[in-house]
């Protein structure tokens, strides 16, 4: 009995097969030529960042082109059924090749155009630049002529447990290196090239089915995967020589943690909160007032743990006080009320300056000189030598914030899979139906609101000590510098509502891009708008979507059962029910 694969192969004409093989070989040649071009000089002057004048030693953006070319070559060889490489594309190579080729082409042509624009003309290009431009265009032209070979992934070969664990550890090590490289980029051109290469490479790996295989492994060895992720994240400060980029990582963790708390309110419970950043401010101001700042209106100095608990408790109280009278509203009305609360908080702390109101928050000047945290004699503001590595103050706060994030992730995952979490989802999907089934909608929404406020306040207590000052301008609905409510909401929607990794990725991208590309800070809201429009058009469920959202948003994309001939047993009933 012949298999479906054999039948398909027999049905394809020999000429088509030969043409496909030729195209794949051409892609491999183009990838090899792209790699070779990175060892040539692309410009004769070192005025362009990265020094692309050296022969035989890729530098700057050439390194990214080299990596992209290697990926093109690797997957081109996998498409040619080279033994030992078939595992790279469980669901097919065509779409992955197209994305990898676009990555190499985009990075190379961005570099060539940047050299031309910044240095004042095409005359600043060396022959190597022209070779790279032509070489990177070859795989793109060939890849988009390939027939689609998308298929259902076959059952993977069983490996020993130690081998599967090594794969998980290796994957997290590669992820750590890639993220560290992006954070450590020293100039805007290199970061832009990194975004092009990394973004398209990640999309290609998803299309190839390799990420699905890795997800299956991490689900199988969940505890080991969680430990590997924590170790990889904790290793980041040990890769840094200074605190320059560690501060960026600390802020990313703070904003990602707050976005994850907002995800409980928006992603699970479906409550549109436009003033969520106010709870971050409540926690930050509370910690500033009780941590011994010289500008504090209260002559108290709580220990670290007490300051953290106080900030979280006050945010919880504010969440209940604000939520109790407003959560009976729905939709746009609730959004308007929460937006008003956020603005009232900012205006209020700006008026508590001793002139317009009681002298508590310092008014527009805020509360400066917040001392560094001290925990059991360990000062977070001083450098410490750990395992032979010198860790600066921001590295200490990074590790502390990592622990806070783990706590928030545990709370989110446990709450989301609990009875109350299922009630949140029911309320989000249809509050009327959920209420009819016996769910107390007001109580359930108030719990979500209070829990989200508590987590934001917890992150705010750490933020106050990292920044060493708090001012009202830090907690706006929208502004040039994150965090703000628009930033947090965009992070949740962009990353994927109702998931854990989605808001983390969304917050990372939305913070890193303006931090690395300074000229975009004045156009942040424009960028948010464009990103959300594109997302709603091409991936409405977010970058990382849960299964429910993916099925809901793409239910019309499912293939219908053909009408010709009688359907197999049960198919007609399933189709009628759909």
| The last residue of a domain, from among 196, 231, 266 | 231
Q: Is the pLDDT of residue 564 over 60?
A: no
Which comes out higher in pLDDT, residue 125 or 554? 125
One domain for residues 227 and 305: no
Mean per-residue pLDDT for 435-462? 88
Q: Is the pLDDT of residue 554 over 70?
A: no
Q: Is the pLDDT of residue 353 over 50?
A: yes
pLDDT in tens, 468-502: 888 888 888 776 666 778 888 888 888 888 788 88
Cis check: omega of the bond before 483, within 30 degrees of 0: yes
Q: What per-residue confidence (pLDDT) applies to 34?
A: 94
- Which of these ranges, 122-136, 253-267, 362-376, has the smallest mean pLDDT? 362-376
Q: Is the pLDDT of residue 159 over 50?
A: yes
One domain for residues 373 and 247: yes
439 in Cβ contact with 306 (< 8 Å): no
First to last CA, the chain: 34
List the domain range (segments joined by +) for residue 434: 241-381+392-475
Which comes out higher in pLDDT, residue 363 or 546? 363
| The last residue of a domain, from among 200, 231, 262 | 231
Q: What total of structural domains would you count in the chain?
A: 2
The answer to whether residue 52 is domain-embedded is yes
Q: In the numeric block, which tokens belong to residue 402?
A: 């990592």
402: part of which helix (H) or strand (E)?
Answer: helix 393-416
470: left (phi > 0), else alpha (psi -120 to 50), else beta? beta
One domain for residues 105 and 157: yes
Q: What per-residue confidence (pLDDT) applies to 556?
A: 53
Q: What per-residue confidence (pLDDT) applies to 144?
A: 92
The answer to whether residue 398 is domain-embedded is yes
* Band of pLDDT at residue 10, cut at 50, 70 and 90: very low
Collapsed DSSP state (helix, strand, coil) of residue 378: strand
Q: What per-residue confidence (pLDDT) applies to 1?
A: 39
One domain for residues 134 and 274: no
* Band of pLDDT at residue 148, cut at 50, 70 and 90: confident
Q: Which residue has the tokens 């009780």?
A: 290
Mean per-residue pLDDT for 535-540? 76
For the chain, percent of residues with pLDDT exceeding 70: 89
Pairing status of strand 374-375 against strand 384-386: unpaired
Q: What per-residue confidence (pLDDT) applies to 548?
A: 61
By C-alpha distance, which of 535, 271, 242, 241 is closest to 428? 271
* Band of pLDDT at residue 408, cut at 50, 70 and 90: confident
Q: What per-residue confidence (pLDDT) applies to 5?
A: 43
Cβ atoms < 10 Å from Cβ of 307: 25
Cα(280)–Cα(258) distance, integer angstroms: 8
Rg of the Cα atoms in the chain: 27
* Band of pLDDT at residue 576, cut at 50, 70 and 90: very low
| Beta strands per DSSP E along 12-142 | none
Q: In the numeric block, which tokens belong to residue 571?
A: 């198919």
The answer to whether residue 493 is domain-embedded is no
147 in Cβ contact with 16 (< 8 Å): yes
Mean per-residue pLDDT for 251-265? 88
By C-alpha distance, which of 177, 195, 203 is closest to 96? 203
One domain for residues 316 and 465: yes
- Which of these ranges, 89-98, 133-142, 410-419, 557-566, has the smallest mean pLDDT? 557-566
CA angle 314, 353, 459 (to 5 degrees): 30
* Band of pLDDT at residue 130, cut at 50, 70 and 90: very high
454 in Cβ contact with 315 (< 8 Å): yes
Q: Is the pLDDT of residue 565 over 50?
A: no
Full DSSP string of 433-502: HHHHTT--HHHHHHHHHHHHHHHHHHHHHHHHHHHS-B-GGGS-SS-SSS--HHHHHHHHHHH-TT-SHH
Q: What per-residue confidence (pLDDT) applies to 80?
A: 86
| Beta strands per DSSP E along 52-124 | none
| Paired residues of 389 in beta bridges | 386
CA distances from residue 472 to 6, 221, 361, 363, 458 in whole angstroms, order as listed:
68, 45, 9, 8, 18
Q: What per-residue confidence (pLDDT) applies to 549?
A: 57
Q: What per-residue confidence (pLDDT) applies to 2?
A: 41
Which comes out higher in pLDDT, residue 253 or 563? 253
One domain for residues 267 and 331: yes
The answer to whether residue 434 is domain-embedded is yes
262 in Cβ contact with 456 (< 8 Å): yes
One domain for residues 412 and 431: yes
406 in Cβ contact with 414 (< 8 Å): no
One domain for residues 214 and 289: no
The answer to whether residue 80 is domain-embedded is yes
445 in Cβ contact with 237 (< 8 Å): no
One domain for residues 204 and 336: no
Alpha-carbon dihedral angle through residues 375, 380, 386, 389, given to the nearest 10 degrees: 170
One domain for residues 225 and 260: no
| The last residue of a domain, from among 475, 508, 529 | 475
Cα(415)–Cα(334) distance, integer angstroms: 23
Q: What per-residue confidence (pLDDT) applies to 8?
A: 43
The answer to whether residue 28 is domain-embedded is yes
- Which of these ranges, 53-57, 192-196, 428-432, has the smallest mean pLDDT? 428-432
Q: In the numeric block, which tokens belong to residue 3?
A: 């298999």
Q: What per-residue confidence (pLDDT) applies to 31?
A: 93
Phi and psi at 470, nearest 5°, equal: -130, 135
By C-alpha distance, which of 381, 397, 373, 367 is closest to 285? 367
* Band of pLDDT at residue 555, cut at 50, 70 and 90: low
Q: Is the pLDDT of residue 451 over 70?
A: yes
Q: In the numeric block, which tokens belong to residue 484?
A: 């703000």
One domain for residues 299 and 328: yes
Q: Is the pLDDT of residue 454 over 70?
A: yes
The answer to whether residue 126 is domain-embedded is yes
Cβ atoms < 10 Å from Cβ of 414: 11
Phi and psi at 227, nearest 5°, equal: -65, -40
pTM for the structure as a whole: 0.80
The answer to whether residue 569 is domain-embedded is no
459 in Cβ contact with 280 (< 8 Å): yes
Q: Is the pLDDT of residue 437 over 80?
A: yes
Q: What per-residue confidence (pLDDT) applies to 488?
A: 85
One domain for residues 294 and 345: yes
* Band of pLDDT at residue 577, cut at 50, 70 and 90: very low
Cβ atoms < 10 Å from Cβ of 64: 30
Which comes out higher in pLDDT, residue 355 or 262? 262
363: left (phi > 0), else alpha (psi -120 to 50), else beta? left
By C-alpha distance, which of 548, 542, 454 is closest to 502? 542
């Amino acid at each position: 009995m012949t298999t479906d694969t054999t039948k398909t192969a027999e049905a394809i004409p020999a000429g088509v097969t030969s043409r496909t093989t030729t195209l794949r070989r051409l892609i491999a040649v183009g990838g090899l030529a792209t790699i070779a071009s990175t060892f040539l000089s692309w410009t004769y002057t070192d005025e362009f960042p990265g020094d692309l004048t050296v022969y035989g030693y890729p530098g700057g953006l050439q390194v990214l082109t080299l990596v992209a070319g290697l990926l093109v070559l690797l997957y081109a060889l996998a498409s040619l059924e080279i033994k030992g490489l078939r595992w790279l594309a469980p669901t097919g190579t065509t779409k992955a090749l197209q994305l990898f080729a676009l990555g190499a082409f985009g990075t190379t042509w961005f570099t060539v155009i940047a050299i031309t624009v910044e240095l004042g003309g095409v005359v600043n290009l060396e022959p190597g630049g022209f070779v790279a431009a032509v070489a990177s265009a070859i795989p793109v032209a060939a890849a988009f002529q390939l027939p689609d070979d998308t298929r259902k992934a076959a059952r993977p070969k069983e490996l020993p447990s130690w081998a599967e664990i090594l794969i998980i550890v290796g994957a997290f090590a590669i992820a750590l290196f890639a993220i560290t490289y992006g954070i450590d980029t020293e100039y805007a051109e290199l970061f832009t090239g990194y975004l092009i290469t990394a973004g398209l490479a990640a999309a290609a790996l998803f299309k190839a089915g390799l990420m699905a295989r890795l997800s299956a492994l991490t689900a199988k060895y969940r505890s080991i995967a969680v430990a590997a992720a924590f170790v990889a994240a904790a290793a980041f400060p040990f890769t840094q020589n200074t605190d320059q980029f560690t501060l960026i990582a600390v802020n990313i963790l703070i904003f990602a943690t707050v976005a994850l708390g907002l995800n409980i309110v928006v992603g699970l419970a479906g409550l549109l909160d436009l003033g969520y950043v106010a709870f971050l401010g409540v926690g930050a101001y509370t910690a500033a007032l009780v941590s011994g700042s010289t500008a504090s209106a209260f002559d108290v100095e709580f220990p670290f743990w007490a300051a953290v608990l106080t900030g979280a408790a006050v945010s919880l109280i504010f969440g209940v006080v604000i939520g109790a009278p407003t959560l009976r509203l729905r939709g746009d009305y609730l959004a308007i009320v929460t937006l008003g609360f956020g603005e009232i908080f900012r205006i209020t702390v700006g008026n508590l300056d001793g002139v317009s109101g009681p002298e508590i928050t310092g008014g527009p000047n805020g509360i400066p000189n917040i001392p560094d945290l001290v925990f059991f004699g360990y000062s977070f503001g001083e450098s410490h030598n750990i395992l032979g590595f010198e860790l600066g103050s921001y590295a200490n706060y990074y590790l502390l914030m990592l622990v806070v994030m783990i706590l928030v992730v545990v709370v989110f995952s446990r709450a989301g899979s609990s009875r109350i979490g299922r009630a949140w989802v029911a309320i989000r999907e249809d509050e009327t139906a959920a209420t009819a089934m016996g769910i107390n909608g007001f109580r359930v929404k108030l719990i979500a609101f209070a829990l989200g406020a508590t987590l934001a306040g917890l992150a705010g207590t750490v933020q106050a000590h990292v920044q060493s000052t708090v001012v009202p301008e830090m907690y706006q609905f929208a502004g040039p510098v994150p965090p703000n409510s628009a930033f947090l909401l965009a992070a949740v929607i962009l990353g994927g509502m109702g998931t854990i990794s989605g808001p983390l990725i969304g917050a990372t991208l939305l913070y890193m891009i303006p931090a690395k590309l300074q000229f975009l800070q004045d156009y942040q809201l424009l960028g948010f708008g464009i990103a959300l429009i594109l997302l709603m058009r091409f991936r409405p469920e977010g970058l990382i979507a849960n299964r429910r959202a993916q099925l809901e948003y793409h239910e019309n994309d499912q293939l219908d059962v053909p009408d010709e001939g009688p359907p197999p047993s049960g198919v007609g009933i399933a189709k009628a029910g759909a």
